[in-house]
Amino acid sequence: MTTQNPVDVNVDAMIEDLRTLVEIESPSRDTDALAASAKAVADLLDRRLGGQAVLVESEAGPHVHWSGGGAPRVLVLGHHDTVFPHGTLARRPFTVTDGHATGPGVFDMLGGLVQAVHGLAALDDLSGVEVLVTADEEVGSHSSRALIEERALACGAVLVFEGAADGGGLKTGRKGCGTFRVSITGRASHAGLEPAAGINALVEAAHQVLGIAALGRPEVGTTVTPTVAAAGTLDNVVPAGATVVVDVRVESQGEKERIESAFAALAPHLDGALIAVEGGIGRPPMPESASAELFAVARELLPDIEGVSVGGGSDGNFTAALGVPTLDGLGAVGGGAHADHEYLVVDAMPERARLVTGLVNAIRDARDGRQA
């Protein structure tokens, strides 16, 4: 498959830029590491696109913002934090073998950033283009969400460079996702001498887990999965405390509201036990309707490309929830996100870079036509 009006992109240059980013480890919440990573991303933008990227400081680390000037018309969105701790690079160095690039973050999502930048560099005119690369996507985007939403509303169209779906498909829909933490307070007592004098937080947690798991409605795309539990201190003490962590994914706003209401209404089964709930569905669902307009443009450029809805969330959830047309999964073709076998398909990089070029041109032309 080839895009219309193909442009030249240099695979070797993309690989070297990818190597530079991967070899600066950037685990989420490590602000010193993220400061170094942000400088490298800013340097890449300045070298390839001209102008000067701005570092936007935050408690999570620096976000990177670049503008081509003029009235904003399209936002290229990504992140430079990764899930991999320091030391991963020593164990899994950046390597290109048999057409695959490997190393921490190549697929999620440093490869997508590089492809986006090289696709933009092929444009003769970068007016109206903005690039925002955040530092905290992997941990919820708490410090970047307001900036993401501000720039998305200003630009009016968003291209998200998270890794592609299986087989290279674009991500046209995403579930809303969030985490709940259920804390249970009971009362300790001697498990042998006075078990009845205690309030067993572990037993209460068992009741809660079964009830929480039953909230799922997979037939409408809602999954409710208890993932982490902890209780107790010693084997002869009735547990006075317990916690249960729950992962939730939903496809609709109605299900988001139902699940959040259900967690808020959790009540104890044991007399005297107390329940406290923290968290929520922080990323709203991204319906396929949000991507329909931009996906149609992508299909004109690559007629065989597929679009799929996925369970994972991204910053595209936020922009889609604002009603801003959003297309996701434009990044690297590969797989193994968050895993040791993470990889990027090198031969797919030129086509994905050219797709950026074509999409940005088409979006600007369409918006200019509407404004004329």
pLDDT in tens, 47-61: 999 999 999 999 999
Kindly indicate the confidence band of residue 371, based on its pLDDT and cuts at 50, 70 and 90.
low
Peptide bond into 109 cis (omega under 30): yes
Single-letter code of the amino acid located at 80: H
Beta-carbon contacts of 356 under 8 Å, excluding residues fewer than 6 positions away, are 76, 115, 116, 118, 119, 120, 159, 330
CA 229 – CA 219 distance, rounded (Å): 26
Q: Which residues contact 2 (CB under 8 A, 6 or more apart)?
A: 351, 354
Provide the CB-side half-sphere exposure for 256 (13 A, CA). Answer: 17
Residue at 317: amino acid letter = N
> Where does the pLDDT of residue 215 fall: very low under 50, low under 70, confident under 90, or very high at 90 and above?
very high
Residue 302: what pLDDT?
Answer: 97
pLDDT at 3 over 60: no
pLDDT at residue 8, as a whole number: 77
- Reduced to 3 states (helix: H, G, I; strand: E, B; else coil), residue 224 is strand
Residue 133 bridge partners (DSSP): 64, 78
Query: Is 316 in contact with 165 (CB distance < 8 Å)?
Result: no
Q: Is the pLDDT of residue 4 over 50?
A: no
pTM: 0.91
- The pLDDT tens digits of the residues spanning 269-298 come to 999 999 999 999 999 999 999 999 999 999
Tell me how far apart the alpha carbons of residues 22 and 94 are, in angstroms, rounded to a whole number.
Answer: 7
